[in-house]
Amino acid sequence: MKHLIDPFDLSKEEIDEIVALGEDIVAHRDRYSGACKGKKLATLFYEPSTRTRLSFTSAMMELGGNVIGFSDARNTSVSKGETIEDTTRVISCFADIIAMRHPIEGAPLNATRVSTIPVINAGDGSHAHPTQTLTDLLTIKRELGRLDNFTIGFCGDLKFGRTVHSLIKALSRYENVKVVLIAPEELELPAYMKYEVCDRYGIDYKEVDNMESVMGELDVLYMTRVQKERFLDEAEFERVKDSFVLDKAKMSLAKDSMVVLHPLPRVNEILKEVDDDPRAAYFRQVENGKFVRMALIVKLLEWAKQDPSVHWMVPSDAIRSGYSCPNRKCISNVENVDPLFRMDDDGVCHCIYCESKARSL
Ligand code: CP
């Protein structure tokens, strides 16, 4: 059985299939109105969400299916100490597919150990958000007409922004995608993303600390919120915060065909004055999220029918001892799960659940 925990769980062909199905759903919505009749989606949201949870709900309803779940785990037996594995076993008895959001990194991966139905990672901590990635890809495809041969600038919080990490991983599957990383030093892309993803998959990337110098090069600008709460020094935040606010003046430096994306919610990093610019695609992006989640649900249920066997998404050669994960927000440090690690090509050991660099014991 196939789950979607990380963008790398999908081959380029599978991503293309889902995006193409998303486009077909946009063109022929009525054809899909009964595609999931009699099926149930469980939305298990342990962390707040507007777009992801409600787009999954709306997607399943448009497919003719039903939705169960929770948006506040305090109202469930989680508050009595039930583990993710036990909750997943229980939900597997009630539903056909799970969408799980969790503040703990690796929680959805841990769920696949016991789940008898497909699990979708709807965002785990700062780690990954693969369905936002599918949303972004469908939007780029619809706006630019292609998923290769373009330059994308990621701006803002590239350290904690799970949507950025996931989209870069997926773009590594495509030809000639150039990446410009626009961030203050404090919020630069994590080392594992630069070396294990960009370098390993040959992504052409550069790092800059201001928007103005690169606006004219970009085909896509992917904005994210600069998270004040992550700065240790407030004076440092004050110094950099306005460099990463998109306004009309900065838009005047961009190509007429550039597309502005943002996973949302935004706070003040895109001024309202940009919203009416035809290049501002972030609300169109939200709607694409529903269409692509419809496509994903249809595909995962189809694949589960072809191969219903329980499949834990962990490599058989995972390392089981000699290391620990330093990330306090990793599932291996929060619940009673076996810590698991993998060695990369450069001999660096990483936690399987959250991808942090492991500590040798
Ligand atoms: N983009 C996104 O994940 O939004 P929500 O947190 O509202 O789901």
pLDDT tens-digit readout, 78-91: 999 999 999 999 99
Q: What was the pLDDT predicted at 126?
A: 87
Other Cβ atoms within 10 Å of 200 Cβ, number: 13
End-to-end CA distance of the chain: 35
**CA separation for the pair 313, 72 (Å, rounded):** 26
| 131-283 CATH | 3.40.50.1370
Atom of ligand 1 nearest to the CA of 264: 1
For residue 95, what pLDDT is reported? 98
Is 90 exceeded by the pLDDT of residue 158?
yes
Distance 239 CA to ligand 1 centre (A): 28
Q: Residue type at 260? A: V
Asked whether residue 265 carries a pLDDT value surpassing 80, the answer given is yes
Half-sphere exposure of 191 (CA within 13 A, CB side): 4
Radius of gyration, alpha carbons of the chain: 20
- Between the CA of 49 and the centroid of ligand 1 the distance, in Å, is 5
Label residue 12 by pLDDT band (50, 70, 90): very high
Which protein residue has the closest C-alpha to ligand 1 atom 6? Answer: 49
Q: Which atom of ligand 1 is nearest to the CA of 55?
A: 8
Q: How far is the CA of 284 from the centre of ligand 1 (A)?
A: 14
Is the confidence at residue 114, as pLDDT, over 70? yes
Q: Where in the chain is the domain with CATH 2.30.30.20?
A: 319-361
Please give the CATH topology (third level) of the domain spanning 7-130+287-306. Rossmann fold (3.40.50)
- Residue 132 Cα to ligand 1 midpoint, Å, equals 8
361 burial level (CB within 10 Å; 0-12, 13-18, 19+): exposed
Q: What is the pLDDT, as a whole number, of residue 146?
A: 98
The answer to whether the Cα torsion of 132, 151, 149, 8 is positive or negative is: negative
Where do we find the tokens 């404090």? 186
**pLDDT number for residue 26:** 98
CATH 3.40.50.1370 residue ranges for the chain: 7-130+287-306, 131-283
Any idea which of 121-125, 137-141, 163-167, 193-197 has the lowest mean pLDDT? 193-197
Distance CA 248, CA 263 (A): 20
User: pLDDT value at position 230?
Assistant: 66
Residue 333: CB atoms within 10 A of its CB come to 19
Residue 50 structure tokens: 């507007």
Lowest mean pLDDT: which of 59-73, 80-94, 335-349?
335-349
Nearest ligand 1 atom to alpha carbon 52: 8
**DSSP 8-state secondary structure symbol assigned to residue 356:** P
DSSP state of 188: P
- Joined tokens for residue 345: 């090509």
Tokens 């229980």 appear where?
90
Query: Residues lining ligand 1, CB < 6 A?
Result: 49-52, 123, 132, 263-265
Distance CA 283, CA 29 (A): 19
Name the strand (E) or helix (H) holding 58: helix 51-62
CA of 291 to the centre of ligand 1 (A): 15
The DSSP 8-state label assigned to residue 319 in this structure reads B
Atom of ligand 1 nearest to the CA of 123: 3
Q: With both helix axes pointing from N to C terminus, report the angle between 130-144 and 51-62 in degrees, rounded to the nearest 10.
A: 70
For domain 319-361, give the CATH number.
2.30.30.20
Residue nearest to atom 4 of ligand 1 (CA): 51
Q: What is the mean pLDDT of residues 264-282?
A: 96
Q: What is the Å distance from ligand 1's center to 112 Cα?
A: 22
More confident residue, 313 or 82: 82
Round the average pLDDT of the chain to a whole number and report it: 95
How buried is 89 (Cβ within 10 angstroms: 0-12 exposed, 13-18 middle, 19+ buried)? middle
Task: For a ligand 1 pocket test, name from 44, 49, 166 the mutation site with the most ligand atoms within 8 angstroms of its C-beta.
Answer: 49
Give CA–CA dist 327/348, Å, rounded.
16
Ramachandran angles phi, psi of 192, nearest 5° = -65, -30
For the ranges 130-144, 208-222, 236-250, the lowest mean pLDDT is seen at 236-250
In the predicted structure, residue 236 carries a pLDDT above the cut 90: no
Q: Which residues of 285-336 form beta strands (DSSP E)?
A: 323-324
Q: How far is the CA of 127 from the centre of ligand 1 (A)?
A: 14
CA atoms within 13 A on the CB side of 298: 25
